[in-house]
Amino acid sequence: MAEFVTLEVSEGIGTIRLARPPMNALNRQVQQELRAAAREATVHPDVKAVIVYGGEKVFAAGADVKEMAEMSFGQMTDVITDLQSDLAAVSEIPKPTVAAITGYALGGGLEVALSADRRIAGDNAKLGVPEILLGIIPGGGGTQRLARLIGPSKAKDLVFTGRFVNADEALAIGLVDEVVAPDDVYEAARRWASQFTTGAGRALAAAKAAIDQGLDVDLHSGLAVERQLFASLFATQDRTIGMESFIENGPGKAQFTGE
């Protein structure tokens, strides 16, 4: 039984809940439990979309600095690959994912949020990658995902200065996709996720894989990824259901099975 990270499933939506008071600091145990929860969400047949949520007051205020301060170069070298994979575990869920952000999302906490497909923030949110103020750099994917999301110049500004951005600036630079009142963050995330609970699950997974894998390669290679994934969907029941429903009833009325 996980102590700090749980998966709650309701109405087709899985909520990965971070709960390590007071600030959801991401020590190694939390990181490993996050990865386990992401794996559970991946294989759970009732989960069609996933929310990552830190609670009403804070998303996650970063890594556990006290734990990290005790580590030597050799120790960090041994664990950095696992650390990076743990914080990126949400990105490996082949289903639509959204981070519901209230309060602080800093350092490793922001890196977890960056691993989601979408980010919805409360207007009280503070986001940033302040690792430079500790004499280090983001190590859980922050330098890479941030630059891909908001561009290298804006990413360098945030990484070089370690400054926090508020919700309005985060929205303006594309760091988050929607800003709502703090009390509405989780419900806004559920509204977005609920769109996919009756969707064509394998097609959604293929769409996600095509976009994510395509960003890592040149356009020619990305088109090859798209071709393969597109053709593979012709082996699914949902493709048959979707096309037959379109021919008979028009668009948007198919009752998909997820197979």
Residues annotated as catalytic (active site), given as ranges: 111, 131
Q: Say how many C-beta atoms besides its own lie within 10 A of residue 29's C-beta.
A: 15
Query: How far apart are the C-alpha atoms of 184 and 14, rounded to whole Å?
Result: 18
Query: How far apart are the C-alpha atoms of 45 and 19, rounded to whole Å?
Result: 24
Distance from the first to the final alpha carbon of the chain? 31
Query: How far apart are the C-alpha atoms of 117 and 97, rounded to whole Å?
Result: 5
Angle (nearest 5°) at CA 86 between 45 and 109: 105
Max Cα distance, the chain (Å): 65
